[in-house]
Structure 1
């Protein structure tokens, strides 16, 4: 991939103020008006779905962010229906429960290279909300028994006031987690054997959103309830710090970006080394490419990064040589979130419609069109084996 080393540009980037700059609204994207026959509907749901994870045997899991109110947060597709996994009692948040042992706000599910299901509990009720002590964690489920194998609890030293565990990826003996929290975003490195977590790239400019979020055709998202911007001032503009992440198939590079910011990378050998000086890790960050308003990504074994473009209902492909092309544009692809590549060569895409929730419409009634639909498209490439098979 054509990577742009920062050098002098890094100095300028580091000099940016932490308060996110208000960018001009993007030029209106042309919305697609014709369905692409390559896009195949896979399933329907009566609740919003924002991530997909599929086992090699074909078991199909999703996360549900609960925008409709209390309900299952993790579900499995069985006979065309999404059923709470492993059951509703475990999957449902209970306000009076111990947050260390109860799912509070699931943001992502992943099937790891070990075949287990990994559940990311954000630890906060929403992006921009204050973290609940003890809630941020990763839950590992053995899919042979459908029972919890281990809970990786975030040590208080890793959690910040607005911590929001967003997504995770695997690479050998570690996993990387994006903390999209307001004010203090960063990356959390999880040692899978010891369970220890540590933070890197804390509030690095490349982890900070530089502009607010937009939806279809460049519509600016206005929140119902204010959140702090990166300087701590309340705003009803939606800012999401470091969110998307991927690891190169050879395991050498960690890619990351905020929603509203460029795609960057850093060598994994530095992230994995607990003795690497912070200054060295920070200085090793390279800007890869200026992107667009994205909500979800995936990477294949060839090193292609698939990235949704929510302002025109498209999925873009960033090739290893840096070339950007439109994989698909379709009116059904409303706010495509965390995607999944299978060994059959398909890319699965949840049309989450998160821009249509009441919270993202300044408190106006939600405009989600039910059922929420999940799609796939053939991409002719297998998943990166270091993340999943």
Structure 2
């Protein structure tokens, strides 16, 4: 009998939390009481509800089925196509609605950030955006919070546009005023020299008619330091990690032309979709090219903590009160738009977790 040839080494202890046999999920968030929330943007799958809670082994529309029925007569109080859900650690689930099903232009007035009270399971407040903040090209992607500044805190949102400028959208939760920062800056834009390779193949848009184009998406992954003073972010089409002072982002007396000089470069961390920060200041990020999860310590040292063939596109991360890192794995790169109209995804999609012995970064004092 011939000996087996050497093979690639896989490592990291991953546990299966939930299998998805319906629509493809993107976002996950675990509340301070351990409730798990998931979102399903409308990218072509049969999405029965765009926000859900995992209850036992089932998915239940959240906060209600009615809120998940897109209502043209009341688009501010109904979810259209949700990309991200974030539990803030103090009783609220924040729902980021792109209002852009199938990556269309956002429905005017429909793009919003919604605060849902986790005790009453009702919508408490809705933040909408003006047309100079959510552009026709905007795709609201992910959001982080800090309730230690301003009257009611601030939210920082990535615009991961594929056709227009990337940006960080800054939202004053007290006044509801929002504005774009680092609009079209190099750090929020796709790396023009980036050539993504997933499962050994170059990832690019491959249309049904045979035409092709590069895969280009702007600022996507976002994480905030435990003290709320530093925002980390990365374009989806890039391997680079950047950061900037949140104070500089909020300070509108700093001209947009000067703000890029406040950006710090952290080097290559691999190509990431989602990112999250732990209470010790560790950044956790996916590496979708290498089926891996990486951590970046506050001193910049990077370490791969999981490398597993099941990590087929690590999308969004969340850290639970159980000190587990949760990650949605959704095979995004196998979608129709990358394979000449053929859907190569294999169900189930999965929610995985691994023990990290670190709590989520706090959002309040």
Counterpart position of 2:260: 282
Shift in alpha-carbon separation, 1:289–1:160, aligned structure 2, 3 A:
same
After TM superposition, the score normalised by the length of structure 2 is 0.89
* Structure 1, gaps ≥5 residues long: 1-29, 227-233
User: SS at 2:133's partner residue?
Assistant: coil
* Helix, strand or coil at the partner of 1:355: helix
Question: Distance between the aligned counterparts of 2:212 and 2:100, measured in 1?
Answer: 18
Q: Distance in 2 between matches of 1:31 and 1:73?
A: 40
- Contact between 2:34 and 2:321, CA under 8 Å: does it hold in 1? no
Q: Matched residue of 1:57: which SS?
A: coil
For 1:175 and 1:351, locate their aligned partners in 2 and report how far apart those are by CA, in whole Å.
Answer: 26
Which structure 2 segments of 5+ residues have no match? 1-5, 148-152
Partner of 2:158: 178
C-alpha distance in 2 between matches for 1:97 and 1:206? 38
Asked if residue 66 in structure 1 is aligned to residue 42 in structure 2, the reply is: yes
Q: Following TM superposition, by how much is the alpha carbon of 1:130 offset from its aligned partner in structure 2, in angstroms?
A: 2.4
| Structure 1 position 102, deviation (Å) | 2.7
Say if 2:259 is the partner of 1:259: no
Say yes or no: does 1:361 pair with 2:336: no
The one-character-per-residue Cα deviations of 1:178-224 (angstroms, maximum 9, x if unpaired) are: 01122221111111111111111111111110135442224323243
For 1:257-288, what per-residue CA distance to the aligned partner results, in whole angstroms no more than 9, with x for missing partners? 10122211111111122333323322211211
Matched, 1:204 2:185: yes
Q: Which residue of 2 aligns with 1:215?
A: 198
Counterpart mapping for 1:157-196 below 5 A:
157-172=132-147, 173-181=153-161, 182-196=163-177
Q: Pick one of 274, 283, 291 that aligns with 2:269.
A: 291
Mapped to 1, the partners of 2:179 and 2:12 lie a distance apart of 45
Residues 160, 202 of structure 1: alpha-carbon distance in 2 compared, 3 angstrom cutoff: same
TM-score for the superposition, normalised by structure 1:
0.83
Note closer, same or farther for the CA distance 1:254–1:63 as it changes in structure 2 (3 Å cut).
Answer: same
Question: C-alpha distance in 2, partners of 1:33/1:205?
Answer: 35
Q: 1:308 aligns with which of 280, 286, 291?
A: 286
CA distance in 1, matches of 2:289, 2:203: 10
Aligned with 2:233: secondary structure? strand
Cα deviation digits, residues 219-252 of structure 1 (max 9, x gap): 32324389xxxxxxx9632211000111111222
CA contact (8 A) 1:185 1:202 kept: yes
* 1:148 corresponds to: 123
Instruction: Give the distance between the partners of 1:359 and 1:65, measured in 2 at CA.
Output: 15
Report how far residue 319 of structure 1 moved: 1.4
Higher relative contact order (CA 8 A, sep 6+): 1
Could you tell me how far 1:378 is from its partner in structure 2? 0.6
Residue 271, structure 1, aligned to residue 249, structure 2: yes
Alpha-carbon offset, residue 66 of structure 1: 3.3
* Cα 1:386–1:286 shift into 2, 3 Å: same
| Contact 1:247 1:253 (8 Å CA) reproduced | yes
Aligned-residue CA RMSD in angstroms? Answer: 2.3
SS at match of 2:276: strand
